């Protein structure tokens, strides 16, 4: 039986949040461990920047996969489609000589069309998503090799390369701490806090007992890694 929110102590709420978000806790532990083992090198700005750049596409794909998994489906072809879209954009920009912006837009449109076709097969034709995306994975992986002709492509236009490893620095001049980056970070943090406050007000408005104010404020200091509705 679920314990009413009004009867839960601060300790119960904290334990419940930590249990529901064990992966985040594990990530924090891993970060702290490597920081200790490397004498803080892993937490340097250059290293964090490299990790963000190298794994940015994974974060984007994970957002799309979240929506698929929430619907009770699976997508085995997401990596193959990403590879095909990247190969097409490279061919458009280098081999065909198209403007790099147009090349990116065209390749993204092709990727969207592929996703729409697979979604149509699942939602309207009734083919299980596992079968559709498994066939897609094999098909698009082969098409990637055909598009690239098993060869590397280069060199890419400067604007194209900047999308992958460029930085928005020195837009307002040279500073020890870039003000544009700080403004973006401050805006993102403020957006997270405002969203959490609005969520808490909604909980109270609908007659539910919110989590203790102490734990709520503590999570906002940490940018609310453990959101909850009640």
Sign of CA dihedral 93, 96, 102, 108: negative
pLDDT for 10 equals: 67
pLDDT band at 2 (very low <50, low <70, confident <90, very high): very low
Beta bridge partners of 171: 173
pLDDT of residue 227 exceeding 60: no
User: What is the value of pTM for the model shown?
Assistant: 0.71
pLDDT of residue 49 exceeding 50: yes
pLDDT for 179 equals: 85
Query: Domain segments of the chain: what residues?
Result: 56-166
Cα–Cα distance measured from residue 95 to residue 153, given in angstroms and rounded to the nearest whole number? 8
pLDDT for 79 equals: 92
Percentage of the chain exceeding pLDDT 70: 92
Residues 88-113: b if buried by 16+ CB within 10 A, e if exposed: bbbbbbbeeebebeebbebbeebbee
Contact 193, 166 (CB under 8 A): no
Q: What is the 3-state secondary structure (H, E, C) of 21-88?
A: CHHHHHHHHHHHHHHHHCCCHHHCHHHHHHHHHHHHHHHHHHHHHHHHHHCCCCCCCHHHHHHHHHHH
H runs (alpha helix) in 21-44: 22-37
């Amino acid at each position: 039986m679920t314990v009413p929110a009004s009867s839960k102590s601060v300790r119960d709420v904290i334990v419940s949040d930590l249990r529901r978000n064990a992966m985040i806790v594990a990530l924090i532990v891993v970060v702290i461990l490597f920081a200790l083992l490397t004498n803080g090198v892993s937490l340097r700005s250059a290293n964090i920047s490299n990790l963000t750049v190298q794994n940015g596409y994974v974060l984007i794909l994970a957002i799309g996969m979240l929506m698929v998994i929430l619907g009770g489906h699976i997508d085995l072809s997401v990596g193959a489609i990403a590879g095909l879209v990247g190969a097409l954009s490279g061919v458009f920009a280098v081999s065909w000589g198209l403007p790099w912006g147009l090349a990116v837009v065209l390749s993204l449109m092709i990727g969207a069309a592929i996703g729409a076709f697979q979604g149509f097969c699942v939602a309207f034709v009734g083919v299980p998503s596992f079968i559709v995306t498994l066939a897609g994975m094999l098909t698009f992986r082969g098409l990637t090799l055909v598009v690239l002709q098993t060869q590397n492509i280069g060199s890419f236009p400067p604007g194209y390369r900047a999308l992958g490893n460029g930085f928005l620095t020195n837009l307002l001049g040279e500073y020890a701490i870039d003000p544009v980056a700080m403004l973006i970070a401050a805006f993102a943090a403020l957006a997270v806090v405002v969203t959490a406050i609005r969520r808490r007000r909604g909980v109270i408005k609908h007659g539910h007992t919110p989590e203790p104010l102490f734990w709520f404020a503590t999570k906002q200091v940490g940018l609310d890694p453990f959101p909850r509705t009640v």
